[in-house]
């Protein structure tokens, strides 16, 4: 299938809304499926990756220590029972194809279900918010549109709204960890990694600082 991949500068609120709607439809497929396998990026796997970083390169010790601490904190602070089922797990901009029309981009397809697994729905939504709605900071117009599009297909429960920050933090910590192991550790000495894990620690800082609080409040009944 031919289609375009949107750079961040081309992501409009309408495009963010369409991604939110599409993600909700993925989640709503859960009852049609049988057993759904666990994902490759569970907390135990992330901890193993952090241990590998510590064994390999002491330069990252402060960040691996912080990531461990925040994983523990947000795991403890998230509601223990949240709506779950099939999640995509990696719906970044390069995993969505679009057809460009005069009225704006039209969503054609979601790609790369390699990381699809059993998981928490609001966690998956926050992966998308991190991927589509953050440039140098969270763009609230885009994040609001994504939440609205998602709710058009699948309403969010109060417990899910309460879990936006801890689940969003866990999503940021997951990608900080995998980008640390997959890019920073592999970069030649003195070279910048292709993808910098610190971008996700910046998302974590913004989220913990209340950047999405207006959207969370707007979603409450």
Domain ranges of the chain: 8-219
Q: pLDDT tens track of the chain, all 221 residues?
A: 889 999 999 999 999 999 999 999 999 999 999 899 998 889 999 999 999 999 999 999 999 999 999 999 999 999 889 999 999 999 999 999 999 877 778 999 999 999 899 999 999 999 999 999 999 999 999 999 999 999 999 999 999 999 999 999 999 999 999 999 999 888 787 778 888 999 999 999 999 999 999 999 998 87
Q: Tell me, what's the pLDDT at 122?
A: 98
pTM value is: 0.95
> Among residues 23, 52, 43, which one has the least CA distance to residue 130?
23
**Which backbone phi and psi does 37 adopt, to 5 degrees?**
-70, 155
Query: Domain 8-219 is classified in which CATH homologous superfamily?
Result: Aminoglycoside phosphotransferase (APH), C-terminal lobe (3.90.1200.10)
């Amino acid at each position: 299938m031919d289609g375009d991949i949107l750079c961040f500068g081309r992501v409009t609120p309408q495009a963010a809304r369409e991604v939110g709607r599409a993600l909700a439809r993925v989640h709503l497929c859960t009852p049609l499926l049988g057993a759904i396998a666990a994902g490759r990026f569970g907390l135990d796997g992330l901890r193993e990756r952090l241990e590998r970083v510590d064994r390999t390169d002491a330069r990252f010790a402060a960040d691996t220590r912080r990531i461990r601490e925040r994983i523990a904190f947000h795991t403890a602070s998230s509601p223990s029972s949240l709506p779950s089922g099939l999640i995509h797990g990696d719906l970044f901009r390069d995993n969505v194809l679009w057809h460009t029309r005069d009225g704006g981009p039209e969503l054609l397809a979601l790609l790369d279900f390699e990381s699809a697994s059993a998981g928490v729905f609001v966690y998956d939504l926050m992966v998308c918010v991190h991927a589509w709605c953050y440039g140098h900071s969270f763009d609230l117009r885009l994040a609001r549109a994504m939440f609205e599009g998602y709710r058009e297909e699948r309403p969010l429960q109060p417990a899910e709204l309460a879990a936006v920050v801890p689940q969003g933090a866990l999503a940021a910590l997951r990608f900080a960890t995998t980008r640390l192991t997959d890019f920073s550790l592999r970069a030649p000495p003195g070279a910048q990694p292709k993808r910098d894990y610190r971008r996700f620690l910046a998302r974590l800082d913004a989220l913990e600082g209340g950047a999405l609080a207006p959207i969370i409040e707007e979603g409450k009944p």
